[in-house]
Amino acid sequence: MSARTLRYQPRDDGNGRLRERLTELVGQNRRHGYRMLHSRLRIDGWAINVKRTHLAASRRSFIPREERRFSSE
């Protein structure tokens, strides 16, 4: 293993406040997807790109999975 790998210090991505706010919004309504979360952030005054919202929400598993309508039985 190289010395560079051992000394590697990952940088902060700068999304700490975004993750905290997304956690608050998801706590209010769990079924909102990233588009609704993004619009709520914009209403609150955040100047943020939708791709950044999607990435932060998907990494934290905030994007709801689609519910199954029928069972296989």
User: Measured on CA atoms in the order 34, 36, 40, 45, is the torsion positive or negative?
Assistant: positive
With beta carbons less than 8 A apart as the criterion, state whether 39 and 11 touch. no
User: With 80 as the cut, is the pLDDT of residue 45 above it?
Assistant: yes
> DSSP alpha helices (H): ranges in 8-71?
16-28, 34-43, 50-59
Neighbours of 14 (CB within 10 A): 8
pTM for the model stands at 0.69
How many percent of the chain have pLDDT more than 70? 96
Q: What is the DSSP letter of 26?
A: H
| pLDDT computed for residue 22 by the predictor | 92
CA angle centred on 63, ends 60 and 68, rounded to 5°: 135
User: With 80 as the cut, is the pLDDT of residue 37 above it?
Assistant: yes
Band of pLDDT at residue 73, cut at 50, 70 and 90: low
